[in-house]
Amino acid sequence: MLDSDSWVSIGQSVLFWLLMSIGLWRVTGKLAFKRRWMVWLPGLRFYALGASVDMPREGAICGGLELLTFILDVITTDNMNEKLLLALSLLALVLLVFIYVYSIRIYMRLTRVFGMRKLWIILFLIAEWLPLLIIGFGKRFQPKNTSFTEDWEAGTAPAKLEGTEEENVRALKNEGLSFEIRDRTVSSFGKKQYLLKDIAIDIPNGSFVLLLGGSGSGKTTLVNAIIGYEKANATVKLNGSDIYRDYGQMKYRIGFVPQKNLMRGTDTVMHTVNDSARLRMPKSLTGSQRKSKTQEVMELLGLSAGSDGLVSKKSGGQLRRISIAMELVTDPELFVLDEPDSGLDGVISREIFTKLRAIADEGKIVIAITHTPDRVIDLFDKVIVLGRDSGRVGRLAFYGSPQEAREFFGKDTMEEIVMSVNRKEEGGEGLADECIERYARLAARAEGGAAS
C-alpha cells in the first residue's frame, strides 16, 4: 500500500499534467494544430507543441526524451544494484538537461509566434503549465505570424517589378501565383544559414515560367518553398488562397514533378496514372469521371498506346511523361516541374515542353527548371533568374520576359545568362551580386513609378 505522502505526490503529478495538457490543448487549438489529442499523452505532447510552431523535429526529440525519462522512472527501483542505480540516475540527469534545452527552444519559438517578450521564458522554466494556460485562455494572445518565422523587417521587403496594368489588375483580383519569400534558412550545428532571401514575384495565370540559375543557386529550394513543401518565411498565395495556411487543401491544387522518375516499375502505366488520380482527386468525382480524365491526360501526353505495359519497360521520355501525367491528372492550378527534360534528347525534350506550353495555355501556371533552356525558350512567357550572392545566398537576379532578360543581362542566350550569374570558380562570370543589386534597383524604380 502507498503511504499518504506518495498519494500526495501522485496527486500533484496528475494535477500538473492535467493543467499542462489543458494549456497545451488551448494553445495548439489557437495554432490550428489538427492532432490535438496528442497533448494528453506523455512524449507526444511535446511533439504536438513543436509541430504546431513548425518545430516538429525538436518536438519529436523532446517528446522522445520525455518518454525515455518516464521509462527510466518506471524501471528504477530502490532494490537495484547500486552501480546500475547510479548509471540510470546519471542517464536521467543527462536526459533532463536535453529536455530542458529542447523545450526552451520550443517555448522561445512559441513566444515569438504569439508576439510575446522573451522574458516569458523564465515563467516557462519555473512552471510551464502556467504560461501555457495564460496563452491558451488569454484572448489577447493570438498567433502573430502564420509562417512562424522571424518578423519581416520593415523596409527590407523586396520591391516587386510591377508589370503591365493588366497584370496589376490581375494581382488585385487575387488571380495567379503571388509569393514573397523573405528568407529560407536551415540550421546547421546551431548556426543559421540562409538559403534564399528577398524573392517576391507575381505570376499571372496561363504563364509558362522558366526558372534559371546555376548549381546551388536555390532553384529546387525555391520551388519547394513555393509549393509549400519546405516552408520558408514567406507568404505564398495561389488565386487568393494562402498555400502555407491551407496546405492540407492546397497541396491537391499543386502538381510537382520531381527531378527523378519516382514511380513503381512494377505497375502498368495505366495503373500508375489511375492510382495517382484516385489518390489526389476529390472524392466527389465518380469513377467514370476519373477514368475519363485519366484517358484525356494520357492522350494529351501520348501515353495511351502501350498503357498496359509495365513502367519499368518504358523509355526515358515516356517515363518523364508518365511522371507528368501523374500530377497533371488532378488538373492542378500550379504545375511545377524540376528538370522535366533531364536525360532526354532535344526532340523529345521539345515535345515535352510543347505539351507543357499547351497546359499553360489552359490557364494554369507552369514553372519549369531546365539546364538546357535555349532549345525551348520560345515557348516560355517569363524567366526567373536566381543568383547566389557573395554570401552564398540565393537571390532574385531577374524576373521578366525572355526578351527583357536578354536586354537586362546583355546576352543572347539563356545559357549565357546563367553563366554570367555563376561564380567564377564554377566557370561563370561572377556577376551575381551586381545583377541582384541592379535588378533590385530596377524593381524599386518600377514600384515607385507604379505608386506615383
Q: Which residues bind other proteins (CB under 8 A)?
A: 56-57, 60, 84, 220, 229, 239-241, 246, 249, 251-253, 256, 258, 260, 262-268, 271, 275-276, 278-284, 310, 312, 327
The answer to whether residues 179 and 200 touch, using CB atoms and an 8 Å cutoff, is yes
User: Cβ closer to other proteins: 53 or 133?
Assistant: 53
Counting every residue written for the chain, the total comes to 452
Rounded Cα distance between 441 and 448, Å, is: 10
Q: How far is the CB of 275 from other proteins (least distance, A)?
A: 5
User: Cβ closer to other proteins: 40 or 120?
Assistant: 40
Bridge-based pairing of strands 233-238 and 177-188 is antiparallel
Q: How many Cβ atoms from other residues are within 10 Å of residue 192's Cβ?
A: 10
Residue carrying the nine cell digits 529550394: 221
Q: How far is the CB of 155 from other proteins (least distance, A)?
A: 33
Which residues have a Cβ under 8 Å from the Cβ of 118 and sit 6 or more positions away?
108, 111
User: Cβ closer to other proteins: 26 or 237?
Assistant: 237
User: Cβ closer to other proteins: 185 or 438?
Assistant: 185
Q: How far is the CB of 13 from other proteins (least distance, A)?
A: 25
Nearest alpha-carbon partner for 24 in 11, 35, 12, 14: 35
Q: How far is the CB of 102 from other proteins (least distance, A)?
A: 16
Q: How far is the CB of 282 from other proteins (least distance, A)?
A: 5
Q: How many Cβ atoms from other residues are within 10 Å of residue 19's Cβ?
A: 16
User: Cβ closer to other proteins: 167 or 267?
Assistant: 267
Q: How far is the CB of 58 from other proteins (least distance, A)?
A: 11
Nearest alpha-carbon partner for 263 in 332, 311, 325: 311
Which grid cell sits at 111? 513566444
Give the 3-state secondary structure of residue 384: strand
User: Cβ closer to other proteins: 145 or 259?
Assistant: 259
User: Cβ closer to other proteins: 40 or 229?
Assistant: 229
Q: How far is the CB of 371 from other proteins (least distance, A)?
A: 17
Give the 3-state secondary structure of residue 63: helix
